[in-house]
Amino acid sequence: MSTAAERVKAARASRRVSLAAALGIDARRFASPADLRFAQAIEDGLERVELLLESELGFADQLADVTARYLFEAGGKRVRPALALLTAQLGDGAAEEIIRVAAAIEITHLASLYHDDVMDEADLRRNVPSAHKVWGNSVAIITGDLLFARASKLIASLGEDALTMQADTFERLCLGQLHETAGPRDGEDPVEHYLQVLADKTGSLIGSAAESGIRFSGADQSFIPIMREYGERVGVAFQLIDDVIDLTQDPAVTGKEAGTDIKAGVATLPMLLLKREAAAGDRDAAALVERIEQWASSQVGENAGEPSPVAELREHAVTERTREEAKRWAAAAIDVIDPVPAGPVKRALVEFANRVTERVA
């Protein structure tokens, strides 16, 4: 029978991620001795971030301790810490300031997941029941608030610049959620409105991660706006691929049921494009929109009884157009880092942007 210490060690090992796993890049392209040392430095940093997360997500209050660790212990790719550690290689590398800001950004991301799942009425997150399904909406919301507070405390030790960056990012996260909830204004293009929501809700935090690696590593500060823009554009591409993944039928791969966002009434680009075609007079598109809306208002899942129209949307041209839009945003991210010097950091950033569009989960 394993001891408590052994169980903790096993859990920590199960959460350990490599640079390649975090950013979804091909490790074979970073196989020279110099590249291996570069990757190892980042992976050592990721291990330090993981240890700090484990410490910072502990609460003296028993209930808070359980709820705050819930999604952390469910896993996660640690994309944002990996990006901060990656861009820090343009400066002094994984100094203590980088570890702290990387952990704070990941805790901010975790906090946003608790809130998002309540607002989207999502049943699953990271292949486990969403926190609000386990403890109810109020506990999930308060847990998210606790995590936002913990992230702010962690980053406060880094000074005014760090606090300002965190506050600006938090403001954009809130504005993105507000505008997603309110929807486009009269006369506003729904697709443009949606892309701005993605830039605020997803892109801003990934942008902060990429920016922070420059800001707190002693790297050339002229790269700060470049990395912020890179992260924001990659973030939009990332979320657009999530819209495609939302239509995937296998919850064992995606961690949620097909059409979860549609069922919750959350805007996605495939649906917005389909509605645009319907409004332009495409009768087939209009009929599919109607079937999807009827399905979304029912309690019937895709694999229960009648097949859902999610499968039709999955195969519709608007879904492929969503993939193409994601590729355009990824290409724009690559364009913006042209001034970054050639080397393993730039290669990893380019490959990450390209790999984002190939994700299946």
> Tens digit of pLDDT for each residue in 80-136?
999 999 999 999 998 999 999 999 999 999 999 999 888 877 777 877 889 999 999
Q: Is the pLDDT of residue 7 over 50?
A: no
Cα four-point dihedral sign 26, 72, 143, 213? negative
Question: Structure tokens of 24?
Answer: 């979804």
DSSP-assigned letters across all residues of 342-359? SSHHHHHHHHHHHHHTT-
Say if residue 1's pLDDT is above 70.
no
Q: How many Cα atoms are found within 13 Å in the side-chain-facing hemisphere of 88?
A: 29
Lowest mean pLDDT among 9-18, 50-59, 251-260, 299-308: 299-308
**Arithmetic mean of pLDDT, 247-253:** 68
Average pLDDT in the 143-159 region? Answer: 94
Is pLDDT of 8 > 60? no
What are 58's two structure tokens?
């502990």
Asked whether residue 327 carries a pLDDT value surpassing 60, the answer given is yes
* Confidence bin at 360 (pLDDT 50/70/90): confident
Indicate if the pLDDT at residue 11 is higher than 60.
Answer: no
Q: What is the mean pLDDT of residues 266-277?
A: 95
Share of the chain above pLDDT 90, in %: 72
Q: What is the pLDDT of residue 12?
A: 54
Closest CA to 258 of 187, 200, 313: 313
Question: What is the rounded average pLDDT of the residues 227-241?
Answer: 97
Going by pLDDT thresholds of 50, 70 and 90, the confidence category of residue 238 is: very high
* pLDDT for res 183: 92
Is the pLDDT score of 322 beyond 90? yes
Model pLDDT, residue 76: 85
Q: How far apart are CA 54 and CA 253, in angstroms?
A: 26
User: Could you tell me which of 292, 296, 297, 294 has the C-alpha nearest to residue 309?
Assistant: 292
Q: Which domains does the chain have, with CATH numbers?
A: 31-356 (1.10.600.10)
